[in-house]
Amino acid sequence: MKRALVLLLLVGAGCGGKAVFRLSSDENNAFALDKALAQRQLPATPTPVNDAHQPRLYALANAAGANKTILALDLASGNVMWKADAEVKSRIAVGGDFIVALEGNSLVARDQARGQPRWRHSVPGTYVGHAADRERAYVVWKSGSTWWLAALDGAGGKQLWKADAAGVLGAPQAHGGVVYVPFLSQWLTLVDGRSGRLLTRVRGIDEQISTLRVTSTTAYYGSKQGMFELDGRSSTGLRAEATYGKVAIPAQLERTTYARDAYDDVQAAYTANDRTRVLWATTPVKQGPMAFAGGTYAIHHFRFLLGFGADGEVRWAYSHPRVELVASDHTGAVVVGLSASGEVVAVDPVTGAVRAQKSLGTSQQVLGGTFDADGWAPAAEGQAADPVAALVGILRDRDARFDRVKELAAGVLAKMPGPDVTRHLLETLADNRAPQRLKDAVVEQLVARRDPSGLPALTAQLAVRTDYLAKTEPDALGATARAIAGLEGLALDTGHVEAALAALEVHLDAPTTPTADLAQVIGAMAAIGGGAERQPLASHLLLYHADDLGGEAAWQRAISIALARKGGPGERAVLRRVAGDPRSRPGLASAIRDALGVE
């Protein structure tokens, strides 16, 4: 009788807990959650999962035929450990001495040291996702109307247990002997990796649970809106009472997410979704929101890495040459990226300095990769990135797919002081290949910039004039004049003002200057002239008040306001005389009266 009972218990253990995934179950239990978290076997400090504790990368590249190529790179030495062709259809998960991926219709484990297949386990249904910790692999699949979670021995591939669910399961994550499985977008289920027993589960009360990210020491869960750090406070299920964090994602990077969607079967493999990620590490807190390490986070957006402060302002930028970064991660000490041509770059998350560069040495196109590099801190400190140079590089990028990122770069650049910044922004306006939307954004940023040191650069932009023989036309004349007008009221160098007025006066007198630009030129002269502009503007009014130009409403308003507001008694007398002149163009007298009434 006792032997039969033991046998029954063993069979039950092999099948996993029948009550793992149920609609009604104990949840948000603080005691059970604390006990489950304490059960995890985690390192004291961030470290790679592999038994050698060496930072590694497992990349997937295109190969001839149906196969692809797995490449294993030792990040510390920069040496490629091995290459192996395989029919990989998923992401690669890393265990203690093995890696595992879906190859064909089977989950295949490979030896980490040599890349040779160790075991193969057929997936008896529609594959959803898999994960691994040091000792085991875990896989989720759907069969009919039932979802399954199973554990496989990392050494031999033997199925240790499995558990069924009547509702949708997402792709799992695991570390330290605990498996995390999202269930019906509402629960995060914690399962004992050894026995398949339900440890506890967390229900999201004011946010769905659809994304997971797990490092060697910390688990995060959440949605597109933000992420929770899994700790004892998660038992509340509420953002306000848990360790919750979200970052300011600029509108130009709107596709960015915190992690892959565990319920999206497309994202079970490496996809373009991996190229728009928030990258972060945290420091423990007892109360309050999630604390980002160093007060910073980064965003990977295709070819670019952008570093942000806690205030949401861009601190640094990195633009990878020519090709996109197809995978990225935050090791706690560096932000690391893998490019489509096989280069690996590690960037300091605070300064943007490049601290390491490695290469897979392959001519194949790299599709994606998994970093097992938690805690990796390359010894090289690197030189702090020049934010202006990096942002200008983004601004001048010729890839039309990144026009929105260029707008972001222009906005960040415009907040930085210095004449070089003004010059770079003006070069964008003069670029015939730059999209009009970007130019419009740059114009507004130049106007709002109000940097006195930029006046010489703005003046230099005015040097180009209309010359039919030389086939030249002024670039962004109206925008440049508007930016100069934006300096009104600031302390400006007298010599710089004189040079700017002289350049503006040339365009004021040029018959080829378009009326819309002419109105901006008049406004700029009045804004910075300090009285020196009165005589040329009064002469301009007397010269053109009866001309066709005098009939242009924009010109009428601009010249009237400039002389009324900034002119002296003599200029106001000129205005009244012109208003009473029967030869003045229609509408000019009315514009002058309106302007004089504003005094």
Residue 316 bridge partners (DSSP): 307
- Tell me whether residue 324 is in a domain: no
d(CA 369, CA 75): 13
pLDDT computed for residue 240 by the predictor: 96
Shared domain for 93 and 234, answered yes or no, is: yes
Amino acid letter for position 147: W
Shared domain for 393 and 248, answered yes or no, is: no
- Tell me whether residue 379 is in a domain: no
pLDDT computed for residue 400 by the predictor: 87
pLDDT in tens, 193-229: 999 999 999 999 999 999 999 999 999 999 999 999 9
Residue finishing a domain among 217, 237, 271: 271
Cβ atoms 391, 445 nearer than 8 A: no
Shared domain for 257 and 391, answered yes or no, is: no
- Tell me whether residue 138 is in a domain: yes
Cβ atoms 366, 395 nearer than 8 A: no
C-alpha angle 195-201-207 in degrees, rounded to nearest 5: 145
Q: Which residue has the higher pLDDT, 275 or 67?
A: 275
pLDDT in tens, 15-48: 544 579 998 889 999 999 999 999 999 999 999 9
Cβ atoms 545, 584 nearer than 8 A: yes
C-alpha angle 259-263-264 in degrees, rounded to nearest 5: 80
- Tell me whether residue 293 is in a domain: no
CATH code at position 64: 2.40.128.630
The structural domain count of the chain equals 2
- Tell me whether residue 11 is in a domain: no
Cβ atoms 229, 282 nearer than 8 A: yes
- Tell me whether residue 466 is in a domain: yes
Q: How far is CA 148 from CA 21, 93, 188, 570, in A?
A: 10, 19, 15, 90
d(CA 593, CA 588): 9
- Tell me whether residue 304 is in a domain: no
d(CA 150, CA 213): 20
d(CA 149, CA 173): 12
- Tell me whether residue 282 is in a domain: no
Residue finishing a domain among 233, 252, 271: 271
pLDDT in tens, 482-503: 999 999 999 999 999 999 999 9
Indicate if the pLDDT at residue 473 is higher than 70.
Answer: no
Indicate if the pLDDT at residue 531 is higher than 70.
Answer: yes
d(CA 589, CA 599): 16
pLDDT computed for residue 471 by the predictor: 53
SS3 category, 510: coil
Shared domain for 266 and 395, answered yes or no, is: no
Per the structure, the complete domain to which residue 160 belongs is given by 22-271
Shared domain for 408 and 557, answered yes or no, is: yes
Predicted model pTM: 0.88
pLDDT computed for residue 13 by the predictor: 42
Shared domain for 48 and 193, answered yes or no, is: yes
pLDDT computed for residue 551 by the predictor: 84
10 Å Cβ neighbour count for 336? 28
Residue finishing a domain among 212, 239, 271: 271
CATH code at position 394: 1.25.10.10
- Order across the sheet with 117-122: list the strands: 93-94, 98-103, 106-111, 117-122
